[in-house]
Homo-oligomer: A and B are copies of this chain.
Amino acid sequence: MLAGRWSTRAFDRAHVLTDDAIGRLLEAARWAPSAGNSQPWRIGVARRGTAEFDALTAALAPGNAVWASAASALVLVAAQHVGDDGSVRQWADYDAGQAAAHLSVQAEAEGLAVHQMGGFDADRVGAAFALPDGVRPLVVMAIGRRDPHAELPEPFAARETAPRTRLTLDEIMLAPALDILPLSA
């Protein structure tokens, strides 16, 4: 399932995300692990047809808005970098990434598709939600059902059938160092 995941741009404009489906996606994010169980993720959900959805769409980079406007929901993933006790959360972004991944794995398991976007106007995205102090928008996710027959303008249609590429394992693996520190150091 993880190997077959696809960040589609071809969403079904007729598909509606039910409350139950949204609830399951949020539960998946909620139970993600985090540093000291700090749970720094903050999540905003905007269903297609709402003012928040339109505001998020308008805040996206134009190349994203073209296809993301057909998604069933746009979901803002944000992170609170300072705890209520003033502690700095060094792993806030990392943990928000974990929660987002748990959400997207749940989506995949339900036959939904997720496409995450970093290209947006953070101020305008933030204005769509009442962000508490110190909460920073990280990603807007388009979530919906993939429609392989959806009409997409170029260059997006071509991307939809482009092969997925990744670095090789050799390229992401860290090699053991030759000079391991003595254990007593």
- Using known A-B contacts A76-B174, A173-B44, A173-B45, determine if residue A5 contacts B33 with beta carbons closer than 8 Å: yes
Partner of A39, one of B26, B45, B172: B172
Q: Give the CA-CA distance A172 to B103 in the complex, in Å.
A: 14
Q: Does A156 contact B (CB under 8 A)?
A: no
- Cross-chain contact B172 with A43 (CB below 8 angstroms): yes
Distance between A95 CB and nearest chain B CB, rounded to angstroms? 6
Q: Give the CA-CA distance A78 to B90 in the complex, in Å.
A: 14
- Cross-chain contact A127 with B91 (CB below 8 angstroms): no
Question: Which residues of B sit under 8 angstroms from A35, Cβ to Cβ?
Answer: 118
A contact residues, total (Cβ < 8 Å) = 74
Question: Which residues of B sit under 8 angstroms from A51, Cβ to Cβ?
Answer: 176, 180
Distance between A13 CB and nearest chain B CB, rounded to angstroms? 19
- Cross-chain contact B139 with A94 (CB below 8 angstroms): yes
Q: Give the CA-CA distance A85 to B161 in the complex, in Å.
A: 27
Distance between A38 CB and nearest chain B CB, rounded to angstroms? 10
Q: Give the CA-CA distance A3 to B26 in the complex, in Å.
A: 11
Instruction: Scan residues 154-170 of chain A and give those whose CB is less than 8 A from a CB of chain B.
Output: 164-167, 169
- What are 30 contact pairs spanning A and B, CB under 8 A? A2-B105, A2-B106, A3-B31, A5-B31, A5-B33, A30-B169, A30-B172, A42-B173, A44-B176, A45-B173, A51-B176, A51-B180, A55-B183, A58-B183, A91-B93, A93-B97, A94-B94, A94-B97, A94-B138, A95-B97, A97-B97, A97-B98, A98-B101, A101-B101, A101-B102, A101-B105, A127-B177, A127-B179, A127-B180, A135-B174
Residues of A within 8 A of B (CB): 2-3, 5, 7, 23, 26-33, 35-37, 39, 41-46, 50-52, 54-55, 58-59, 76, 78, 90-91, 93-98, 100-102, 104-106, 116, 118, 124, 127-131, 135, 138-139, 164-167, 169, 172-181, 183, 185
